[in-house]
Amino acid sequence: MDINYILILVYFVCICAFNICIVQSEDCATPEGKIGECLIIHDCPKAYNLLANKPVPEDILVYLRKLTCGFLGKLPKVCCDITAEIPRVADTEKDIFPSRTVCGRQEQDKIFGGEGTAIGEFTWMALLEYQRPHGKRISCGGSLITNRYILTAAHCLLRIPETWKLLSVRLGEHNLETEEDCEVDTEGFKECSDDPIDIPVEKEIPHELYDPKDPSQTHDIALLRLSREVEFTDFIQPICLPLTQRLKNEYYIGQTMTVIGWGRTETRSQSDIKLKVDIPIRSKSDCAPMYRKYGVTLKSSQVCAGGIDSKDACGGDSGGPLIILDKTETEHNYIEYGIVSLGPIACGVKNLPGVYTRVADYIDWIRAHIEP
């Protein structure tokens, strides 16, 4: 957690000691006399945006003190203006994250059985390219979540050899060995994708609490800010995140999810063609004892999936997404539920699932680190 944010939390605690803290009531009045709602500071864009400049100026701290209306656990609550001119968090999310009319979309007639993928399938997939002493190498994966940000694993940034440097992200790739990716449909028509694009990485943002030496690999999540915005096409589109409370509360035990990729990790290369593998979500009570034998203690922010002989994140990439198709009455969208994080060296081992970072637990962290 950012040290400045910790200091601000302490500051709010001190405020509460000397003020009447409204914990139960949701209604309040802002210092300007406008009708407000008592919300945690993360959910009030006007207040939360005031924390963008570090260190936070003294006059801003004074204003935040006036906004204070209580706490939710250790999280400060502020009186958030709910008049029309100030966007609520739902409007802000729509601005930050693509809507479900854009993200996680899949042309159903492109999907076919087996582990191979069709051109134009899973268009959010990203590959990370590194500079090594003796040339470049594509290793970890990730997923496009906005037109400027890639979601990946922190270990892809902090557990790489010291001589490696992350250079760029590749989007729109299908077959790493061919200059032009094409396929012929059942009626004999040839379809080719656009050329993939390589975009330099402007900023690496691993989770502040991630420890590369931690055997459990907790908080294994990171963002990459690209050097420019990406134009969405038929072959480059973002994945949806679990933004709603309904999706955040889902654990999908026993259900099947899909992991996608080229089998690229920091130590292994498997396929030149993008693959997909369906694997079941396992319960923590089923999975944790297996890893405890290896000195790994799984946390609530981690999920287990797989453990089927020869089927695991071998078909995916370190940092790549574990996804599920979320169906509502009006929309069908793929949601990124997990990030490929931890697993046995010999992946695809029967009865030893892979471990994934649970994305829903980090939505606030993602939102806090994305810039316009």
> Are the C-beta atoms of residues 233 and 172 closer than 8 Å to each other?
yes
Gyration radius from the chain CA atoms: 22
Distance of CA 92 to the CA centre of its chain: 17
Residues sharing a CB contact under 8 Å with residue 206, sequence separation 6 or more, in sequence order: 154, 157, 158, 221, 222
For this structure, is 220 an active site residue?
A: yes
Other CB atoms within a 10 A radius of the CB of residue 65 amount to 16
Distances (CA, A) of 274 to 121, 224, 236: 9, 21, 14
Q: Which two tokens stand for residue 35?
A: 């009708």
State the catalytic residue, choosing from 42, 81, 139, 155: 155
Q: Which residues contact 179 (CB under 8 A, 6 or more apart)?
A: none
Phi and psi at residue 12, in whole multiples of 5°? -65, -35
- Using CA atoms, how far apart are residues 230 and 365, in angstroms rounded to an integer? 22
155 is catalytic: yes
Q: What are phi and psi of 39, to 5 degrees?
A: -125, 155
Q: Which two tokens stand for residue 82?
A: 């709910």
**What b/e sequence results for 330-356 when a residue is b if at least 16 CB atoms lie within 10 Å of its CB, and e otherwise?**
eeebbbbbbbbbbbbeebbbeebbbbb
Catalytic status, residue 81 = no
Asked if 221 and 299 touch (Cβ cutoff 8 Å), the reply is: no
Q: Provide the token pair at 32.
A: 């300007």
Q: Which of 43, 81, 220, 312 is catalytic?
A: 220
Q: CA–CA separation, 47 vs 40, rounded Å?
A: 10
Supply 43's token pair.
């959910």
Tell me the catalytic residues: 155, 220, 318
